[in-house]
Structure formats: C-alpha cells, structure tokens
Amino acid sequence: MPFIEFEKSVRQNDWSMQELHSHAHYELYFLSKGNRSFFLSNALYRLEAPALIVIPPHVMHKTEGDPFERYNINVSDDYLDPFQRDTLRKNALQFIRPTPAQTEQLISLFEDGIAVEQHRKHTEYLLKSIFSYTVFTLNKLDAQALPPSAAATGDIPPLVLKVIDHLNAHYAEKQTLDDLAETFFVAKSTLVYNFKKYTNCSLIDFLLNVRLTKAKEMLVNTKKSVGEISEACGFSSANYFGLIFKAKEKQSPASYRKNQRAKA
C-alpha cells in the first residue's frame, strides 16, 4: 500500500545510527539544527544546518555526530504523482541549503505533517495536501552538488576511500580480510582499524550492507529467482542469504519482494 510519514528527531547529545541501511522508499532528510557526518552511497559528507537531501530508494546511508534536530518525510514511490516523482528524482542526492525564510517555511510544513498524523481527522487528505505543497516548495529551491566530501577535506585516508570503492564495485566476488589486505598492500590490522575509525562501520558489515542493498534492488526490479540474486550479490548460498536477509529486514527475501510489488 502507498504510504507517507512525517517524523522529527531531536538529540541533545552526540548520536550515531547503529549501521548503514537502505530502504525501498524515498526519504526527505532535513537537518534543521546542528552538524552531522552523513555517509551517503559511497562517501562521507559534513552537513551543517539548514540542509535538505532527497535520498532515493536503495541507497545506503547513515548519520553520526553532534547534537541535532532533523525532520524526515518517508514516502513510497507509488504514493507520488508524476510531478512529485519527477521533482524527487531531479533533486535526488543533491544538496539544498534553504534561506532563513525557506527554512522557516519547511519547518512549518514538517510540523504540520507531524501534527496531522498525531491529532487530526481526515489525515489522508491533509497529508496529501501538505506533502504536495512541500514538493512544490522543493521544486523552487536551488539544488546543487553535494558539498565536498570528508575525503576532499582530508578527513578520510585514501586507503579507506579505495576500499569503499573496491567493495562497491566488487561486492559480487568473494572478499576476505586477507584478500583485501593483499589487494591494498597493507597489514590486515591496519586496514581493519582505519576502516572502522573513519566509517564507524566494520569492513564485513559494510560489505554485507552493500550486498543487501543490491539484493533488495534486484528483488524489486528484476524477475531473477532468490537463488540467482543470492549468487549475483556474492552470498555463499541461498540459505545463508535468506537467514541474513531475514535477520536484517525481519522478513524473507520472497516476502520482501511480494510486499514491495504489492505497493506498485
């Protein structure tokens, strides 16, 4: 079924998401206060409020860092009308820094959406109206390339960047820590330490999340069998793929495919 949800999160202390994740819906992420490190796709960015990013389906991401306030809209592709879909696609993975007046307007829209979900009648129609105006507002804002990544400012060593690119490109192949250490001519302990330090994620967990993200995308967008997808995404067996997928997604690959296609 089509869905949309508005949410707000405020943290008074440093906070990090537990792990990289992806999902089958769009996410409009609006950082209204604070600074965050934002891992998006295959790079780490430093964001300073106010900042708005449209995260499309099946893109790995996580945030970490200082105290903050942020608003989210999570919305399924089948909820969108053609104008809304075109606007989100056009702005996907772009960086939007609204003016003070635009920031105030966006906060008002997000707060209205949250209030509707919690307290008002005719929720469905009110949410549609608020979301429509939010997208209309987004369409008028100036999107630009994401700000220089942490790599560009020297915050991430070249070694870690090369490993990230390698894992994104070769996720379907067998990868062990020994193989990676040999590929990059570095001690395994150095590789493990630096990757964890600069991404706040272990090498194995990162690779697993890349594979699961690719698998979810294939489950939704192809007719390949679960076994074929398992092999294409680098899992040792369909059974292992099923166990890992269910542990992460709380449903089997077949159920995930069925549920996502039911929304189409």
Helix axis angle, 188-199 to 158-169, nearest 10°: 90
What is the Cα–Cα distance from 150 to 116, expressed in whole angstroms?
38
Q: pLDDT band at 37, cuts 50/70/90?
A: confident
What's the count of helices (H) and strands (E) in the chain, helices before strands?
A: 10, 8
For the full predicted model, state whether its pTM sits above 0.85: no
What's the rounded Cα separation, in Å, for the pair 150 and 167? Answer: 19
What pLDDT does residue 150 have? 67
CATH fold for the domain made of 4-144 = Jelly Rolls (2.60.120)
> What is the reported pLDDT for 152?
58
Same fold, 4-144 and 158-262: no
Helix (H) or strand (E) holding 22: none
pLDDT tens figures, 204-252:
988 998 999 999 989 988 899 999 999 999 998 999 999 999 988 889 9
Residue 118 CA, distance from chain mean position = 25
Angle at 224 between CA 90 and CA 247, to 5 degrees: 85
Q: What is the pLDDT of residue 147?
A: 77
- Per-residue pLDDT, averaged over 70-76, amounts to 95
Mean pLDDT of 145-165: 76
Please say if the pLDDT value at position 168 is more than 60. Answer: yes
- What are the C-alpha distances in Å from 97 to residues 30, 49, 53, 147? 10, 8, 9, 10
- Amino acid making up residue 103: T
The percent of residues in the chain predicted with pLDDT above 90, rounded, is: 51
Given pLDDT bands bounded at 50, 70 and 90, which one contains residue 145? confident
Residue 151 has a pLDDT of 61
> For 102-121, what is the mean pLDDT?
87
**What is the C-alpha to C-alpha distance for residues 173 and 178, in angstroms, rounded to an integer?**
14
Q: What residue spans define the domains of the chain? A: 4-144, 158-262
Cα within 13 Å of Cα(211), Cβ side: 27
Q: Left if phi > 0, otherwise alpha if psi is -120 to 50, otherwise beta: which for 94?
A: beta
Q: How far apart (Å, rounded) are the C-alpha atoms in residues 126 and 129?
A: 5
Which contacts (CB < 8 Å, 24+ apart) does range 127-136 have? Answer: 127/4, 127/6, 130/6, 131/4, 131/73, 131/75, 131/84, 132/84, 133/109, 134/28, 134/73, 134/106, 134/109, 134/110, 135/83, 135/84, 135/87, 135/88
Question: What's the pLDDT at 118?
Answer: 66
Beta strands 43-48 and 26-40, pairing class: antiparallel
CATH topology of domain 158-262: Arc Repressor Mutant, subunit A (1.10.10)
